Amino acid sequence: MAALTSVGETPLTAPAGRPSGMQARRRKRLNMFRYVVFTVFGLFFLLPLLAMVRFSLEGAKLGTWSVTAWKQIASYSGTGIPPLISSIEITLELAVITCVVMLVLLVPTMIWVRLRVQWLARTMEFLCLLPLTIPAIVLVVGLGAIYNKIQHYSLSALMLFWVYVILALPYAYRALAAGLSAIDVTTLSEAARSLGASWFSVMVRVIAPNMRQAILNAVLLTAALVLGEFTIAYLLLYNNLQVELYSISRNTPNAGVLFSTSVAALLFGFALLMILSYAGRRRRGRG
Amino acid sequence: MAVAAATETGARPSRAGRRLSTPAWVGTVPFLAYVAIFLVWPTGIVVVDALKNPNGAWAFSNITELGNPLVRGYFIGSFKLCLLSSLLGAVFGAILAYAVASGDPDGTVRRLYLAVSGVLAQFGGVTLAFAFLALIGPVGLLFHASWFYSFPWGITVIYTYFQIPLMVLVFLPAIDGLKVQWREASENLGASAWQYWRHVGGPLLAPAFLGGLLLLFANALSAFATIIAWENQIAYIVPQQISTALSSEVGLSNVNVADLLALGMVIMVAIVMTGYALLQRRAARWLR
């Protein structure tokens, strides 16, 4: 609600001296417009979330309050579906693995392309942004054959990380590219090389520390993406958090745990992206 | 094929006197191989299989199945939903973006709305359907909307929830690009607010607005989780039907239904994204 209380502090009211009549009228109208818009949209965005929170706190009888659903997150197990907590674990593990693989794959390659194979830069950008234009549902149709082969070796849902890295490419690439273009990669690497550093230490000990902000952004975006992924897991018949929530909603409609888990997952995602926006702001302040 | 040329160009920036045993581009092979296996290959499979019959023989006539009334129905459904949700999202998103942009550029409101937009634009998925179910579903808290399960209106309202924030994110830079001087200049020349928007602001923002609209359209086109959590019995749009085709073998005879539908989607997205890229370039002219 901080949004609504601070609406008035616009720079338009700041300048000293008396504004002319026409400008003052326009300013008043503009502020009025902003109040109305922020209130209406604020309600539109807030109400569904509040409704979900209220449902998660619903007691056994309609209209009562209880925290049972929140306690159930750790213990809930529907009939015919894996326990909720196991799918939460899988999803968190997937997020970690995907982030690690994404970094190992993308960071050295991007630095390398920047330093030594400039002519590949455009191709690489195109490939990284491509997943934005190929809907996940299309990708999954073609992935069936590939995952058939993977499943010869492992049936674990953790194998989803292979394709999650692809889904994360556009977001991770843009975050990393922003960080990489903010530093003078060539000078840094030449300095390090002339002091006798190997290419490995140029990347790990010189360039990567200089772009840790970008790396953090890429990691957070990737993690948020993995936490919310449904389409591919569902269609390849794996069980992650979103698929589990979907199964619970099919088996037992109105299960309170559905809403408590959703709210919890959402808050977690909020927290991740808030860290991102806060960290990003600090960097801008310094630079 | 490109290897020979690649070696020469790749070797050039290296320091004199260093022996080059392997060309520099070799360092990118892991990345390229990964993308080839998990992105290029699956997409290729979709395209190739869409043009084959289940026995593996080429059948380019499959493409005509996209005109089959049944198949066309799903594409029309997709088109309706995407158009409605992107129009609503673009218009409301533009209004909200204007309200945000007219405030303090470093203020709390702007920062809050941008951060929240970033989260909500990603907040598709099954959770979103639950949230609206809790609010206006059959036992909804606010009221019971009789149109909640009607297509396309019920789902359109749910889709606007992630479309509006996305529009705010992509449209805000364009509004920020409107210079105060332009407004002042037109006022000094005696233009009313309406004339300013009609002749100056509107035309300047038009390419960015249309670009945003197309991006929202593509975004709605590929969304799947929300609609399946909203209604999993009846297929209205292409992704739902792909899902059905993947999990059951029934469907059009002698055509790889899922692949064909997927190919249709790729074509649709490709058209939309090309338009987006062109409009972005046009809009970028004023954003300096």
One DSSP character per residue, A133-170 reads: HS-HHHHHHHHHHHHHHHHHH---GGGGHHHHHHHHHH
Q: What is the pLDDT of residue B270?
A: 87
Q: Cβ contact (<8 Å) for A142 and B218?
A: no
Which carries the bigger pLDDT value, residue B251 or residue A85? A85
B31 closest CB neighbour out of A12, A109, A131: A109
Q: What is the pLDDT of residue B32?
A: 95
Residues of A in contact with B6 (CB under 8 A): 119
Q: Is the pLDDT of residue A84 over 90?
A: no
Q: What is the pLDDT of residue B250?
A: 54
Q: Cβ contact (<8 Å) for B28 and A117?
A: yes
Domain boundaries, position B212 = 67-284
Number of alpha carbons in the 13 Å side-chain half-sphere of residue A203? 18
* Cα dist from B267 to B66, B84, B225, B257, B262, whole Å: 11, 20, 21, 15, 9
Q: What is the pLDDT of residue A16?
A: 43
Tens digits of residue pLDDT in B64-86: 877 788 888 899 999 999 999 99
Q: What is the pLDDT of residue A60?
A: 74
Give the Cα-Cα-Cα angle B217, B131, B247 (nearest 5 degrees): 65
Give the confidence band of A14 by pLDDT, cuts at 50, 70, 90.
very low
Classify residue B52: in a domain, yes or no. no
List the one residue out of A225, A192, A215 whose CA is nearest residue A107: A215
Q: Is the pLDDT of residue B255 over 80?
A: no
Q: Is the pLDDT of residue B4 over 50?
A: no
Burial of A171 (0-12, 13-18, 19+ CB in 10 A): buried
List the one residue out of A21, A144, A10, A49 whose CA is nearest residue B161: A49
Please report the number of interchain residue pairs, chain A to chain B, with beta-carbon separation below 8 angstroms.
Answer: 236
Q: What is the pLDDT of residue B94?
A: 94
Give the confidence band of A277 by pLDDT, cuts at 50, 70, 90.
low
User: Under a CB-based contact definition with an 8 Å cutoff, are residues B239 and B224 in contact?
Assistant: yes
Residues of B in contact with A224 (CB under 8 A): 122
* Cα dist from B226 to A9, A203, B155, B167, B232, whole Å: 37, 41, 9, 19, 10
Minimum mean pLDDT range among A235-244, A248-257, B194-203: A248-257
Give the confidence band of B260 by pLDDT, cuts at 50, 70, 90.
confident
Average pLDDT over residues A206-232: 89
Pair of tokens at residue A52: 């979900």
Percent of chain A with pLDDT over 90: 30
Average pLDDT over residues B86-115: 86
Percent of chain B with pLDDT over 70: 90
Residues of B in contact with A165 (CB under 8 A): 34, 38
A47 closest CB neighbour out of B135, B222, B265: B135
Which carries the bigger pLDDT value, residue B55 or residue B45? B45
Residue type, A50: L
Q: Cβ contact (<8 Å) for B46 and A52?
A: no
Distance of alpha carbon A241 from alpha carbon B71, whole angstroms:
32
Q: Cβ contact (<8 Å) for A230 and B135?
A: no
The architecture in CATH of the region A84-286 reads Orthogonal Bundle (1.10)
Give the confidence band of B118 by pLDDT, cuts at 50, 70, 90.
confident
A51 closest CB neighbour out of B46, B118, B142: B142
Pair of tokens at residue B170: 């992509």
B270 closest CB neighbour out of A117, A133, A162: A133
Give the confidence band of B286 by pLDDT, cuts at 50, 70, 90.
low
Q: Is the pLDDT of residue A195 over 80?
A: yes
Minimum mean pLDDT range among A162-166, A269-273, B75-79: A269-273
Q: Tell me the backbone φ, ψ of residue B14, rounded to 5 degrees.
A: -75, 155
Q: What is the pLDDT of residue A273?
A: 75
Q: Which of B38, B100, B172 to mutate to test the interface with A (most CBs of A within 10 A)?
A: B38
Q: What is the pLDDT of residue A284?
A: 47
The residue of chain B with its CA nearest to that of A272 is B119
Q: What is the pLDDT of residue A192?
A: 93
Q: Is the pLDDT of residue B241 over 90?
A: no
Which carries the bigger pLDDT value, residue A220 or residue B4? A220
Give the confidence band of A30 by pLDDT, cuts at 50, 70, 90.
confident
The residue of chain B with its CA nearest to that of A270 is B119
User: Under a CB-based contact definition with an 8 Å cutoff, are residues A91 and A241 in contact?
Assistant: yes
Distance of alpha carbon B285 from alpha carbon B288, whole angstroms:
7
Q: What is the pLDDT of residue B50?
A: 86
A6 closest CB neighbour out of B109, B134, B228: B109
H-type alpha helices, B177-256? 180-188, 193-196, 202-222, 225-230, 238-247
Distance of alpha carbon B159 from alpha carbon B121, whole angstroms:
10
Q: Is the pLDDT of residue B96 over 90?
A: yes
Considering chain A, what is the average pLDDT of its residues? Answer: 83
Q: Indicate the domain borders of chain A.
A: 2-56, 84-286
Q: Cβ contact (<8 Å) for B28 and A112?
A: yes
Helix (H, G, I), strand (E, B) or coil at B58: strand
Q: Which of A38, A117, A141, A261 to mutate to test the interface with B (most CBs of B within 10 A)?
A: A141
Give the confidence band of A15 by pLDDT, cuts at 50, 70, 90.
very low
Query: Where residue B235 sits, what CATH number does that domain have?
Result: 1.10.3720.10
Give the confidence band of B9 by pLDDT, cuts at 50, 70, 90.
very low
Q: What is the pLDDT of residue B183?
A: 85
List the one residue out of A163, A44, A232, A270 whose CA is nearest residue B123: A270
Q: Cβ contact (<8 Å) for B126 and A131?
A: no
Q: Cβ contact (<8 Å) for A228 and B122?
A: yes
Distance of alpha carbon B120 from alpha carbon A45, whole angstroms:
9
Tally the domains of chain B: 1
Average pLDDT over residues A29-54: 90
Q: Cβ contact (<8 Å) for A135 and B118?
A: no
- Give the global pTM: 0.82
User: Under a CB-based contact definition with an 8 Å cutoff, are residues B218 and B269 in contact?
Assistant: yes
Which carries the bigger pLDDT value, residue B64 or residue A94? A94
Give the confidence band of A9 by pLDDT, cuts at 50, 70, 90.
very low
Q: What is the pLDDT of residue B163?
A: 92
The residue of chain A with its CA nearest to that of B114 is A277
Average pLDDT over residues B139-167: 87
Cβ neighbours of B233 (radius 10 Å): 6
Helix (H, G, I), strand (E, B) or coil at A58: strand
Give the confidence band of B287 by pLDDT, cuts at 50, 70, 90.
low
Q: What is the pLDDT of residue B59?
A: 77
Q: Cβ contact (<8 Å) for B242 and A9?
A: no
Q: What is the pLDDT of residue B249?
A: 57
Give the Cα-Cα-Cα angle A144, A147, A152 (nearest 5 degrees): 135
CA distance A219 to chain B (A): 15
Q: What is the pLDDT of residue A6?
A: 40
Classify residue B210: in a domain, yes or no. yes
Q: What is the pLDDT of residue A98?
A: 96
Give the confidence band of A281 by pLDDT, cuts at 50, 70, 90.
low
Classify residue B88: in a domain, yes or no. yes
Residues of A in contact with B34 (CB under 8 A): 105, 165
Which carries the bigger pLDDT value, residue A49 or residue A75? A49
